[in-house]
Amino acid sequence: MLLKGIGGLLVISASGILGILHSNKLSLRYKELVNLRRVMQMLETEVTYGATPLPVALYSVSKKTEGPVSRFLANVSEHLSKRSFYTLKEAWNDSAERLLMESSLIKADIEFIKSFGNILGCSDREDQKKHFQLFYIQLRHQEDSAMEEVKRSAEMYRSLGFLLGMAVFVVLA
Amino acid sequence: MDVNLIFKIAAIGIVVAVLNRVLNQSGREEMAMMTTLAGVVVVLMMIINLISNLFDSVRTMFHL
């Protein structure tokens, strides 16, 4: 009887924690998108006003921020300094594949970031500024959709976790 | 055939009702419908033996 109770408690708490983790992943995605905007704004300042070369700019921005995006920029900067890749695009894409997969960003977000690497460092300061503005507008769309998904599904995943745990416990015991 | 079966069915009923409400509330109505159906199927599977026994005994009583 006691064993049944302990087992049930374990099942319900495991399933509940799974639900909470899933719910947190959604809200974490939104926070990381906001962080991405901040990091990109710092990068824009470095590139368009400071005219610093890309490896230095990326490195200094990554020093001033934290999070998966910051580590991503530090990685790109390192690749550029060591000349491990031929172009910025390749270094950018490689770092994006490896480092951003660990974060809570979804595939669409990562593809979006990778597409930005195509135009970074390829034109003059005014053009870069325009590309940055376009990036912000598209990023706003992603942020809005992430916020909407959080509002819609976060509470649901939490309740779902606990309820499914209880259902399994009741059926099996 | 013990009382625990009735408690189990009652608990499943409550869980399915709450699940239904939560899923309807967040807009996933087709998933709510599916969980309701799943709950009905699970309960049916739990009592199918007893129903079969019931029909057997009714049949034997009739033919007597």
Q: What is the pLDDT of residues A130-169, one digit of tens each?
A: 888 888 999 999 999 999 989 888 999 999 999 999 999 9
Over residues A109-116, the mean pLDDT reads: 86
First CA to last CA distance, chain B:
25
Average pLDDT over residues A122-134: 84
Nearest-CA neighbor of B23 among A159, A18, A170? A159
CB atoms near residue B54 (< 10 Å): 11
Q: Show which residues on chain B lie within 8 Å of chain A, measured between beta carbons.
A: 8, 11-12, 15-16, 18-19, 22-23, 25-28, 42, 46
Asked if the Cβ–Cβ distance from B12 to A166 is below 8 Å, we say no
**Predicted complex ipTM:** 0.79
On whether the CB atoms of residues A77 and A53 are closer than 8 A, the answer is no
- The tens digit of pLDDT for each residue in A14-47 reads 999 999 999 999 999 999 899 989 988 888 888 8
The pLDDT assigned to A81 comes to 85
Residue A121 has pLDDT above 80, yes or no: no
Residues of A with CB under 8 A from a CB of B: 152-153, 155-156, 159-160, 163-164, 166-167, 170-171
Contact B22 A159 (CB under 8 A): yes
Chain B CA closest to residue A153: B26
Average model confidence (pLDDT) across chain A = 87
Which domain, by its residues, includes B27? 3-61
Give the residue with greater pLDDT, B9 vs A88.
B9
The pLDDT of A93-120, averaged and rounded, is 83
Listed range (A12-26, A112-126, B41-55) with the worst mean pLDDT: A112-126
- What pLDDT, on a 0 to 100 scale, did the predictor assign at position B10? 93
Residue whose C-alpha is closest to residue A87's, from A119, A56, A113? A119
pLDDT at site A46: 84
pLDDT at A50: 77
- For chain A, the C-alpha Rg in angstroms (whole number) is 21
**8 A C-beta contact, residue A69 and residue A39:** yes
The yes-or-no verdict on residue A51 having pLDDT over 80 is no
pTM of whole model > 0.90?
Answer: no
Q: What are phi and psi of A85, to 5 degrees?
A: -125, 160
Number of domains in chain B: 1
If DSSP codes are grouped into helix, strand and coil, which group holds residue A51?
Answer: coil
Rounded Cα distance between A120 and A35, Å, is 19
The answer for residues whose C-beta is within 8 angstroms of residue B15's C-beta and 6 or more apart is A163, A166, A167, A170, B39
Rounded CA gap, A130 and A107, in Å? Answer: 25
Q: What percentage of chain A has pLDDT greater than the value 90?
A: 29
Q: Which residues of A touch B26 (CB under 8 A)?
A: 152-153, 155-156
Distance from CA of B12 to the nearest CA of A (A): 6
Share of chain B above pLDDT 90, in %: 77
Q: Nearest CA to CA, how far is A157 from chain B (Å)?
A: 10
pLDDT at A104: 83
pLDDT at B64: 67
Spans of all domains in chain A: 34-153
Size of the A and B interface in Cβ pairs below 8 Å: 33
